């Protein structure tokens, strides 16, 4: 009897923790042009100073097939080929970030998709060149943050 009570209690606690972690995490990519121009240090500094904790990070080069898969949701859009081309131009940095309400707070920090429309002081305003080369990607929902995180990282790479 006591075993079932304790076991049930542990399960609930773990589930609650998992749900809490979900909204605490987002996923980002520093895009090839920002890496090429040496802006990654400044961008990471802005992210940390805004209160995000980096719980996973690595540098890699996307293959065309991987870029097409990652951005599959945009495959019918006219900008798809340009986007894939720009994302495979050079190395990128991918990272998982933690903060309360991470997705929304990070989207505020990076600004609008189009750097020209982004608010002064945002990452895309500072480092974005065009809509495709808009410096960084940020997940647009908790669900996508999870999918995008596990596109690049295994559980044991997340600290």
Between strands 53-60 and 25-30, the pairing is unpaired
Instruction: Order the strands of the 136-138 sheet from edge to edge.
Output: 53-60, 92-98, 25-30, 136-138
| Residue with Cβ nearer ligand CMP (122 or 132) | 132
Residue 141 Cβ vs ligand CMP, minimum distance, rounded to whole Å: 12
Task: Supply the DSSP symbol for 137.
Answer: E
| Residue with Cβ nearer ligand CMP (56 or 67) | 67
CA-to-CA distance for 37 and 133, rounded, in angstroms?
Answer: 12
Q: Residue 25, by phi and psi: left (phi above 0), alpha (psi -120 to 50) or beta?
A: beta
* Catalytic entry in 37, 39, 74, 137: 137
> Catalytic site residue 137?
yes
Residue 146 Cβ vs ligand CMP, minimum distance, rounded to whole Å: 16
CA-to-CA distance for 4 and 52, rounded, in angstroms?
Answer: 38
Residue 65 Cβ vs ligand CMP, minimum distance, rounded to whole Å: 17
Binding site for ligand CMP (CB under 6 A): 74, 79, 83, 113, 131-132, 134, 137
| Residue with Cβ nearer ligand CMP (83 or 94) | 83
Just list the catalytic residues: 137
């Amino acid at each position: 009897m006591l075993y079932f009570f304790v076991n049930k209690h542990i399960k609930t606690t773990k589930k609650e923790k998992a749900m809490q972690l979900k909204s605490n995490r987002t996923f980002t990519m520093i895009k090839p042009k920002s890496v090429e121009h040496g802006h990654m240090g400044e961008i990471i500094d802005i992210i940390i100073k805004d209160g995000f904790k980096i719980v996973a990070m690595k540098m890699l080069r996307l293959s065309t097939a991987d870029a097409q898969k990652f951005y599959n949701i945009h495959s019918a859009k006219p900008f798809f080929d340009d986007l894939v081309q720009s994302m495979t131009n050079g190395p990128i940095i991918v990272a998982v970030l933690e903060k309360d309400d991470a997705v929304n707070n990070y989207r505020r920090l990076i600004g609008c998709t189009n750097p020209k429309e982004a608010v002064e002081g945002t990452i895309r305003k500072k480092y974005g060149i065009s809509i495709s080369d808009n410096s960084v990607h940020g997940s647009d929902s908790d669900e996508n943050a999870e999918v995008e995180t596990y596109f690049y990282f295994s559980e044991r790479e997340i600290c």
